[in-house]
């Protein structure tokens, strides 16, 4: 406030207003440049961007697509342990894709007539189904049960947080529609996906003796030195 007072005294109201407009313009210009760069990068990666008011084009999906097509194939957690690295990469791919597919079904749902209570119940049930489907898909991929179990334990706090947020969002009066509620839920899911990388890395590292020497897709899982 003191700085604004000095500017007002030195330049008068016309100069002060011009300074504010210039500052606001600079902020908008910086945001536009960031958005433009992101769109260009997204287009090169084949990521589709769209209207946030349509849940089908939520940033969750472009981010998940980027993780699946760019980040996961370039992970370098166990550079000298390719089979162990493959276990972790496949685990993350299965979970991310299962959750993304489940969220796509949510985004396509007609929820306009739902009460807030029904929204909470629907989202809780659907998220539970996504986790269950991810576990089943991981087993179908051939990922050892011990890896799935350990990963689930590491990821449980984040998943519990997600369910707690769904309850809070459903009980809140600040949302004007179920689309707005789901928009916020998707942001939390996006955060959950970010934590999964660390959960998967810890799971694989802490399962040294439990999976070392086991076959995964015809190859032996290597030991690691802690």
Per residue, the 3-state secondary structure of 156-168, as one string, reads HHHHHHHHHHHHH
Rounded Cα–Cα distance for residues 97 and 16 (Å): 52
> Residue ranges per domain, the chain?
1-44, 55-220
Contacts made by residues 211-216, CB under 8 angstroms, sequence distance 24+: 211/84, 211/87, 211/144, 211/146, 211/147, 214/144, 216/83, 216/86, 216/87, 216/142, 216/143, 216/144
> What integer pLDDT is reported at residue 51 of this predicted model?
39
Instruction: Return phi, psi of residue 203, to 5°.
Output: -60, -50
> What integer pLDDT is reported at residue 73 of this predicted model?
87
> What integer pLDDT is reported at residue 155 of this predicted model?
82
Residue by residue, pLDDT tens for the chain (226 residues) are 444 344 444 544 455 445 444 554 554 455 455 445 545 554 554 444 433 478 998 889 999 999 899 988 888 778 888 998 898 889 989 999 999 999 999 999 999 899 999 999 999 999 999 999 999 999 999 999 988 988 888 888 888 888 988 998 899 888 889 999 999 899 889 888 877 777 777 766 777 677 888 888 999 888 877 5
Question: Looking at residue 177, what DSSP letter applies?
Answer: S
**How far is CA 89 from its chain centroid?**
16
| Strand duo 215-216 + 219-220: pairing | antiparallel
> What integer pLDDT is reported at residue 223 of this predicted model?
86
Instruction: Please state whether the predicted TM-score (pTM) of the whole model is above 0.85.
Output: no
> What integer pLDDT is reported at residue 11 of this predicted model?
47
> What integer pLDDT is reported at residue 6 of this predicted model?
47
> What integer pLDDT is reported at residue 79 of this predicted model?
81
């Amino acid at each position: 406030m003191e700085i604004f007072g000095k500017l007002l005294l030195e330049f008068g109201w016309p100069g002060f207003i011009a300074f504010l407009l210039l500052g606001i313009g600079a902020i908008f210009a910086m945001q536009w440049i960031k958005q433009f760069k992101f769109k260009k990068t997204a287009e090169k990666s084949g990521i589709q961007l769209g209207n946030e008011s349509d849940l089908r084009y939520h940033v969750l999906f472009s981010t998940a697509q980027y993780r699946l097509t760019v980040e996961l194939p370039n992970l370098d957690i166990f550079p000298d342990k390719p089979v162990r690295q493959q276990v972790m990469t496949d685990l993350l791919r299965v979970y991310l894709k299962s959750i993304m597919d489940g969220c796509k079904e949510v985004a396509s749902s007609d929820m306009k007539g739902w009460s807030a209570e029904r929204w909470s119940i629907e989202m809780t049930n659907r998220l539970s189904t996504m986790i269950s489907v991810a576990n089943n898909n991981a087993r179908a991929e051939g990922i050892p049960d011990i890896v799935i179990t350990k990963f689930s334990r590491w990821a449980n706090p984040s998943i519990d947080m997600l369910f707690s947020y769904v309850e809070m969002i459903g009980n809140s009066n600040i949302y004007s529609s179920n689309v707005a509620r789901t928009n916020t839920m998707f942001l939390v899911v996006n955060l959950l996906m970010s934590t999964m990388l660390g959960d998967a890395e810890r799971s694989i590292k802490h399962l040294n003796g439990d999976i070392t020497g086991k076959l995964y897709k015809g190859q032996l899982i290597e030991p690691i030195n802690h």
